[in-house]
Amino acid sequence: MSGLSMIPAVSVEFIGSALAILLAFIALGYARALVKLQPNNFIWGFLWYFCIAMAAFSVSRGVGHIVRIILVYNDRGDVWQLLSPFSGGFNTMLMISVAAVTIYYHKGLDAYKAIRTEADKLAAANLQLAANAEELQKLNTNLEGIVEDRTRDLTQSETKFRNLFENSKDIVYFCDFNGNITSINSSGIQMLGFTEFPEKINFHKLFSNPDTLDTYLSEIRHKGFVSDLEMECTGRDHSIRYILLSANAIYSAKGDIVGYEGIGKDMTRLRNITEQLINHEKMASVGEMAAGIAHEINTPLGIILGYTQLMLDDFDSESELHENMQVIERQTKACRRIVSDLLKFSRQSESIKANINVNDIIKEVLSVTEHTLNINKILVVRQFDPHLPLVIGDAEKLHQVFINLFNNAQYAMSKGGQIIITTRQHEHEVHISVRDTGSGIAEEIKNRIFDPFFTTKEVGKGTGLGLSVTYGIIQEHGGTISVESPVDDPDTGLELRGTAFHILLPAHIENNSEQAV
Amino acid sequence: MKTLRHLFTLNILCLLLFCGADSAWALQSHSAPEGIYVHQMAHVLFMASLGYLYWHTRRTQELTSKGWIFLQLFCILLFSWNVIAFTGHEAFEHLTATDFIYKNTWQEQLVSPITFIKVLYYITKMDHFLMVPALAALAFSLRTFYLEARKGVQ
């Protein structure tokens, strides 16, 4: 009786059971590693429990099969009969367990997915937050850098413009709508005669001429700016300065003028030089004309005088005709004096130049004129420098200069006063000052006093050639003469009444040590 | 919840199929066939759970990595093993002691003639040809998960 041997099936059962146990535990090992690696992962947790159940099932079933084969095929079927129900029961129970674990898996998975979704969102939000924080940090860092750069640039710019403001030799100012200066540079402060920034100073009040102020305000308020306005400015020390002004209006956000800013160039020196130049040219042209006239008149005058003197001998000295001829002679001589003065003014007369001491010249003139001055209650004050250097000049003509100046001073002090004569060395020049305490010279005629025939005296009391001749003589000696009225006292800084003529003559330094008195 | 309800219904159907109606007592004793019935029901439950696991992992978009493919293979193989095992148990129930010779010895054989039931029993007896590959797929699946997770952590 032959049949189908069960050996192959039993062998597969035996080996398969062992392999099943082995593989189930390998899977369990990986599941455990997964759980350890990521303890919070629900899926790994599920697989862990699933593998436990599978391993238990594999053990239960595999061991059951192996034990059955061993016992049954070794005549211990009775033992197996005892164990068999337990093995089957375990197998059943563990299969149900695996099923139960699987069935409940989806619930956990849903929860896990929900949590995971939220966690992913949170992670994404955190990531975004971190990115934003990083971006913010970068921006902050950049911002700090930008602020630092801008601050540095601003500081440099501020320093540059502050230096420009402070070091400018022109007046730079800022003022409010009413003209109250809010900021002004050092040059401006000095120009206005202050030593430090004053508490309150109104720029509009510095205008000497109200018409110029009106022009300034009118233009700047209508056009928003004023350009190259010639301004006559009266400083704190009452000195007049000529300023070439350019200014702009400062507007508020609403477009209203809230103040002004401007730059002014001090043109005083240039103006004085220009005036002197004009004056010089004028005097030169007048001198040329005077010389021409004098030459032309001099000859007929000489003839008239000569014939008059000849005719005087022809008439009886007691006769009326003789007296008439004397009048003609006298007036002709007066005309010759005028012509002579004109020639002196135009430097056409001859000069005999030598080394002379100006102090001596003045003393000689005073020896003649002081008596008359004293009669007119005029006191002469001498402030001579005993070490005054010599000058090269014509003594006769220099006598004429001081006679003219003393005469003028006397005329200006009809009720008496003082003539203060000062001589001193000023660098390479001799400075002579003749100051009186008289009525002074009006500002409007100051520029004309050296013009020929200009006089403030009554008709017949002066020819108007005195100062012209003086000017001509000083020019001939290579010097300058200027007038100051009223006079600033260099010691007190006060303004004194009267007039001062300042003469500068080139000093002859080489002979200074030998001939100084 | 819906799945649980389906499983409960399936269990009831199995009970109706395999269990005949009998007298009921308050304290009911368990007769001999109950063990095999329970065991078969466990197989059915096990199959259902594996089928569900396969279905759920297939439809879940997040579970598409290689490890899940191995797990799905495990589900298929173990499901198939359950079918084989279930069939084997049923086939064994149709065999009697006379169908075997040299029983419980190394020479044990199925006696001729070799009927369909006997062949079916013989084939299902070698169910480890499915179970071992199924557990191998499970091991591969877990290994793949582990390697991927470790790579992710690193």
Are B112 and A96 inside 8 Å of each other by CB? no
Q: Chain B window 83-122: which residues touch A at a Cβ cutoff of 8 Å? A: 100-101, 104-112, 114, 118, 122
State pLDDT tens for residues A132-181. Answer: 888 888 888 888 888 888 999 999 988 888 888 888 888 898 999 888 88
Are B42 and A73 inside 8 Å of each other by CB? no
Are B108 and A58 inside 8 Å of each other by CB? no
- C-alpha A77/C-alpha B104 separation (Å) is 8
Instruction: Phi first, then psi: give them for residue A491, nearest 5 degrees.
Output: -80, -50
Beta strands in chain B (DSSP E): 100-101, 109-111
State pLDDT tens for residues A19-59. Answer: 999 999 999 999 999 999 988 888 888 889 889 999 999 99
A20 at the B interface (CB within 8 A)?
A: yes
Tell me how far CA of residue A325 lies from CA of A33, A80, A122, A298, in angstroms: 157, 193, 136, 19
Are A16 and B129 inside 8 Å of each other by CB? yes
| Beta carbons of A268 and A233 less than 8 angstroms apart | no
Is residue A1 predicted with pLDDT exceeding 70? Answer: no
Tell me how far CA of residue A311 lies from CA of A305, A336, B144, in angstroms: 10, 19, 159
By CA distance, what is A5's nearest residue in B? Answer: B109
Q: What residues of chain B lie within 8 A of the CB of A77, using their CB? A: 104
By CA distance, what is B52's nearest residue in A? Answer: A103
A36 at the B interface (CB within 8 A)?
A: no
Are B49 and A47 inside 8 Å of each other by CB? no
For the four alpha carbons of B77, B80, B82 and B88, in that order, the dihedral sign comes to negative
Is residue A246 predicted with pLDDT exceeding 80? Answer: yes
| pTM for the structure as a whole | 0.44
Q: How far is A145 from chain B (nearest CA, A)?
A: 38
- Token pair in block for residue B92: 């064994």
Q: Chain B window 19-58: which residues touch A at a Cβ cutoff of 8 Å? A: 35, 38-39, 42-43, 45-46, 48-50, 52-53, 56
Confidence of residue A451 (pLDDT cuts 50, 70, 90): confident
Per-residue pLDDT, B27: 62
- Token pair in block for residue A499: 């007039």
Share of chain A above pLDDT 90, in %: 21
Per-residue pLDDT, A337: 81
Q: What share of chain B is helix, strand, coil (3-state, %, to 5)?
A: 70, 5, 25
Q: Which has the minimum average pLDDT: A11-25, A190-204, A390-404, B83-97?
A: A190-204
Task: Among B142, B143, B150, B151, pick the best mutation site for testing chain A contact (most A Cβ within 10 A).
Answer: B142
Per-residue pLDDT, A515: 42
Are A3 and B112 inside 8 Å of each other by CB? yes
Are B145 and A16 inside 8 Å of each other by CB? no
A75 at the B interface (CB within 8 A)?
A: yes
ipTM of the prediction: 0.80
State pLDDT tens for residues A267-279. Answer: 888 888 887 788 7
Confidence of residue B23 (pLDDT cuts 50, 70, 90): very low
Q: Which amino acid is at B63?
A: L
Q: What residues of chain B lie within 8 A of the CB of A81, using their CB? A: none
